[in-house]
Amino acid sequence: MATITSKVIIQQMLTNDGIFFGDPQVAEIWEYEHLSTGQIMWSIFMKPQHNDLRLSPFVGRHELLWSKELGHVNEIGVLQNRSLPVTGEASHVQGE
């Protein structure tokens, strides 16, 4: 799991089906709201079974953007475009 704060990097990964130049393809890309800062952030997972976002006390609303299995599910900004709370799989900020 890695937390990404750059919208540009995430957009490149979405455009390239989960691949950032020079890195292996990820399994999932998630967008989430960090509860202590209110910022929108992104998490990537190399294996779906490593996704422990829902266990983090720092993760609020969250949405899957892309996965190997499903492809493109949502665009960047899906959380900002929703007025109701988002439900779904959770995200995790490592080291907090």
Cα 86 to chain centroid, rounded: 13
Can you give the pLDDT at residue 94? 41
96, part of any domain: no
pTM over 0.75: yes
DSSP state of 16: T
Structural domain harbouring 15: 2-72
84, part of any domain: no
18, part of any domain: yes
Can you give the pLDDT at residue 32? 94
* AA identity, residue 32: Y
90, part of any domain: no
10, part of any domain: yes
95, part of any domain: no
3-state secondary structure of 35: coil
DSSP state of 26: P
Low-confidence ranges of the chain (pLDDT < 70): 82-96
Our CA angle for 37, 38, 41, nearest 5°, is 90
Structural domain total, the chain? 1
Can you give the pLDDT at residue 70? 95
51, part of any domain: yes
Cα separations in angstroms, 39 against 5, 57, 94: 9, 15, 16
13, part of any domain: yes
Can you give the pLDDT at residue 21? 92
